[in-house]
Amino acid sequence: MGLRRSELHPTASEFEGAELGDERRTLRLIRMADALARRPDVSFPKVAGSDVELESYYRFLGNSKIDAADVLEPHRRKTAERAGQLEEVVVVHDTTEFHLSHADPDEVGYLASGKPGFFGHVSLVVSADGQRRPLGISSLETIFRTQRSQHGRRKAPGSITTKRADRESKRWERGIETSETLLSPATAPIHVADREADSYQLLALLTQRQARFVIRIRHDRRARLAEGEKEEWSSLKQLAAEADACLEREVPLSHRRGSPAPRAAKTHPPRKGRMAKLRFATTKLELQRPRYFDETLPATVVVNCVRVYEVDAPTGEEPVEWTLVTTESVAIPQDVARVVDLYRTRWTIEEFFKALKSGCIYEERQLESRRALLNALAVSMPIACNLLWLRSRAQHAPDAPATDVLSLTQILVLRNVSRRPLPAEPSARDVLWAIAGLGGHLKANGEPGWASIRHGLQRLLDFEIGYRVPRVRTRHPGGFRDQS
């Protein structure tokens, strides 16, 4: 392969043991992953470095005998191993769009905007200890729409859509079932999903499996209080609104851009980042099965409900309001705060998608065939997890030791090449800013973005390769220089 294991980027080892039908293909995958992990934001021709190597990349990605699921499988196994070492993990489920303006829609399908691209439904395993460390991908499903969305067309009623075996909403069930199979019995994950996942059928499936979850509700449905005397049926949101507040907190809300898709833009309008004062109220509810489902589903489902609503929202800004249903305890205020924090873990997957698209420039890869795009996606996902951990650790635990995100050798190299001096015992935030400085980031520009982080990390890894070459070196302002 031309690389000793000790010289490989740690992310490349995520692909060891891949069963691709030929050991040479596995070696090619590891070598390509090593090169991409070191330079995630560089085009394939520049990463390859030669026409021969570039041709080998394209042959591998487009090989009809190589499937993306097989490429990702060793990473999934390592994800399960990491999860099994922790007491609790969260699995965040979400769907993203991959915009591929260069591609043929006959090959990649259409997005809701009518432009070429496809959808990826991802299940990301995250530590539940407050660090929100991305442990890896437990499930990946891709969706290709062969026709443009017909805006203005009236949606079919639930009595029809729920009977379609091929409906896209089934992806939530498949992602959860795949993740449960991968992670159990070593750990009992807590599944977290946004309002798109709201489905009585999904809630029934989760409760029947005794799975743990925190899901945001979109639909108002018939419900009644689950404790005390059985009252008349009311509505979920009315009962949640009548619950007494038990806790108040200030929570940072991230900046959000508007979506080009009309439906998504209405659901998630743009907003400015701000500190929001939120109140939490809880109740226990019994949800009634919608009339368009048959008796194969239970007549009712019992869940704990947490209403989160903003008070004193800025003028012109839509107040935040979430209605969450969960299996987790809400007996005391600390339990309620924990449920909300579990839901807020969902933002980790949004940052993962940014790492994948901006940090690994996945959408900019000029690949045209569906197979090549999917294989490249499978290679890019563990790399994006590594980038995400570097950034999120520095943001959520800035005082954590630098060894949480870099090796001792990388810290030594960074100390010598960085123009931003590192303290004797650097923190995760210290090394992130030093890496961003290598990538051209200026402190006056605020928090480092994905571009400066990926450029700086690329330079650091290149310096590390030079450092490992067994030669005598002397230090100079630009890094290490061979002494001859």
> What pLDDT score does 151 carry?
58
Non-local (6+) Cβ contacts of 215 within 8 A are: 191, 192, 193, 197, 198, 202, 203, 324, 325, 326
pLDDT: is 436 or 323 the higher one?
323
> What pLDDT score does 1 carry?
44
pLDDT tens digits, one per residue of 30-73? 999 988 888 887 888 988 889 999 999 999 999 999 999 999 99
Burial 460-479 (b: 16+ CB within 10 A, else e): bbbbbeebeeeeeeeeeeeb
End-to-end CA distance of the chain: 30
Class of domain 397-482: mainly alpha
> What pLDDT score does 159 carry?
56
Quick check: 6 pLDDT over 80? no
Asked whether 339 and 214 are in contact (CB, 8 A), the reply is yes
**Backbone phi and psi for residue 213, each to the nearest 5 degrees, phi listed first:** -160, 160
> What pLDDT score does 484 carry?
34
CB atoms within 10 A of CB 122: 22
User: Which residues face 134 on adjacent strands?
Assistant: 126
**In 3-state terms, what secondary structure has residue 72?**
helix
- pLDDT average, residue stretch 459-466: 78
pLDDT tens digits, one per residue of 115-149? 999 999 999 999 998 888 999 999 999 999 998 87
Length of the chain: 484
CB atoms within 10 A of CB 248: 11
Place of tokens 């067309």: 153
Over the chain, what is the mean pLDDT? 87
Quick check: 480 pLDDT over 70? no
Quick check: 473 pLDDT over 60? no
Non-local (6+) Cβ contacts of 479 within 8 A are: 416, 417, 463, 466
> What pLDDT score does 392 carry?
76
Place of tokens 């026409």: 51
Asked whether 303 and 326 are in contact (CB, 8 A), the reply is yes
User: Which residues face 321 on adjacent strands?
Assistant: 309
What amino acid occupies position 94? D
Could you give the residue range(s) of every CATH 1.10.740.10 domain in the chain? 397-482
Of the listed ranges 112-116, 173-177, 302-306, 324-328, the least confidently predicted one is: 112-116
Of the listed ranges 122-136, 182-196, 244-258, the least confidently predicted one is: 244-258
Question: In the numeric block, which tokens belong to residue 73?
Answer: 């499988």
| pLDDT band, residue 11 (cuts 50/70/90) | confident
> Rg for the chain (alpha carbons), in Å?
24
Asked whether 203 and 303 are in contact (CB, 8 A), the reply is yes
Quick check: 477 pLDDT over 50? no
